[in-house]
Structure 1
Amino acid sequence: MSLVIPCVDIQSGRAVRLYEGDPDRETVYFERPLDAALHWVEKGATLVHLVDLDAATGRGENKNIIFEITRNLNVPVEVGGGIRNFESAQALLEGGVQRVVIGTAAVKNPDLVSQLISAHGPERVVVSLDAKDGFVAVSGWASQSELSIESLCEDMASRGLQTLIFTDVSRDGTLKGLDRDLMVRVRKAWTGELIVGGGVRDVQDVALLKELGIEGAIVGRSIYEGTLPFPVPELTER
């Protein structure tokens, strides 16, 4: 495993974390998302993951804050949350975002992934597979599709996708740790670059990801609350 990526979730203009993806169960960590992003870069982050929670749930958007962050950071930024058409993805990419993360649209309009890869290259497009009880969750995790993890992985691979983020919705923001059996299942289903998008609690979870050959992890509450040290010792030994 090579990369631990701090996450800054943006809701109502503030840096927060949600419990099980519920927008009404938030903890505010920084009043200004830029301060959160700068904090993790100063600690050694080489990539920052931003999520526009308001865009994901249809409550609004935080594009100006995202562009403020891209202007002030000296490391790449990737952005997810509510990117459901080509125009919104392109605006982010042209505004300084290194790569866009497509979630719900990858299920409801998978051709969008193909179009973005064709226009901008596979290195600037990531798909976020968010799952609950083995099926893909959509619309800011508010509903569940009938699409299996394996089916989506197969379809995205056929479209030339290189990087997949997988999030177990039931564990995101809970500090419960990872579900080993589920991690094994996803690693088997996706042979490209795999990043786990939630549920990492401590160094034992990082060790599990290394054992399974999972390339990265997006971390939020665990580093904000200190159950996982950042930078992670296992990744700085070499």
Structure 2
Amino acid sequence: MLVIPAVDIQSGRAVRLFEGDPSQETVYYENPVEAALHWQAQGAHMLHLVDLDAATGRGENRAVLREVAAAVTIPFEVGGGVRSVEAAREMLALGAHRVVVGTVAVKAPEVLGQMLAAFGAERVVVSLDARGLEVVISGWAEQTALSVKSLSQQLWDRGVRTLIYTDVRRDGTLAGLDLAVVREVRAVWPGFLIAGGGIASDADLEALQNLGVEGAITGKAIYEGRIDLKKWV
């Protein structure tokens, strides 16, 4: 299973948020480049970078992303505020292996279609962030009436082949996964599935493996030493 360290960037620093709340941050690295290089040195095969300020419309951390891109030699994906073909092109030109979109997949599926046509399914990943199975968007600030299960089928039909599912109720809490929900997502998604939100231990990663989930994004658990990344690379 592909275990992907998360480097979430807020106000130029590498942080983790509690349940996605920008006011409840823990700063792990003042310089996100150091975080990225640390996980690269630990053997990570990919990094998951998120511009939290761009996701919520409070600003952006493009200069920091550019510094990370220049420093690392492993593939990385970038999400947070990627809501146009131009924004996606910019992130890919910066050096990202692929872009991660969420809000645009819900609010502007035609733009998602344009991205897939322009860059291909291997370079456009959709992240469905949800409270359980209820999708949230705009940096998790806006609730929708959509279900992960129904929306994932629509995404597959549109040509998406890699899906990230994050349970925002548990993200940054170290509460462990809601495996019943992940099992439901696995049952409806035929493509490559990456899960996150609450991963707290090796047992959570093993449980995902047993469900046939191909990837996991983890943040606080590896930053705080509860998971040794070297065991999973």
Tell me the TM-score normalized by structure 2: 0.98
Q: What is the deviation of 1:80?
A: 0.5
Q: Tell me the amino acid that sits aligned with residue 130 of structure 1.
A: D
Show the counterpart of 1:80: 79
Show the counterpart of 1:30: 29
Deviation track 1:111-135 (CA, whole Å, cap 9, x = no partner) reads: 2221111111111000000011421
Q: What is the deviation of 1:174?
A: 0.1
> How many angstroms apart in 2 are the aligned matches of 1:172 and 1:112?
28
Which ranges of 4 or more aligned residues in structure 1 deviate by more than 3 Å?
none
SS of corresponding position for 1:191: coil
Q: Tell me the amino acid that sits aligned with residue 94 of structure 1.
A: A
Show the counterpart of 2:170: 171
Greater shift in the superposed pair: 14-23 or 145-154: 145-154
Show the counterpart of 1:114: 113
Question: How many residues are treated as equivalent by the alignment?
Answer: 233
Show the counterpart of 1:90: 89
Deviation track 1:132-183 (CA, whole Å, cap 9, x = no partner) reads: 1421001100121001111210111011111000000000000000011101
Deviation track 1:202-234 (CA, whole Å, cap 9, x = no partner) reads: 011011101000000011000001111112x3x
Show the counterpart of 2:200: 201
SS of corresponding position for 1:188: helix
SS of corresponding position for 1:18: strand
> How many angstroms apart in 1 are the aligned matches of 2:133 and 2:90?
33
Show the counterpart of 2:187: 188
Q: Tell me the amino acid that sits aligned with residue 197 of structure 2.
A: G
Q: CA RMSD in A?
A: 0.9
Structure 2 unaligned runs (5+)? Answer: none
- The answer (yes or no) to whether the contact 2:131–2:167 under 8 Å persists in 1 is yes
SS of corresponding position for 1:173: coil
Structure 1 unaligned runs (5+)? Answer: none
Show the counterpart of 1:134: 133
SS of corresponding position for 2:175: coil
> How many angstroms apart in 1 are the aligned matches of 2:50 and 2:135?
18
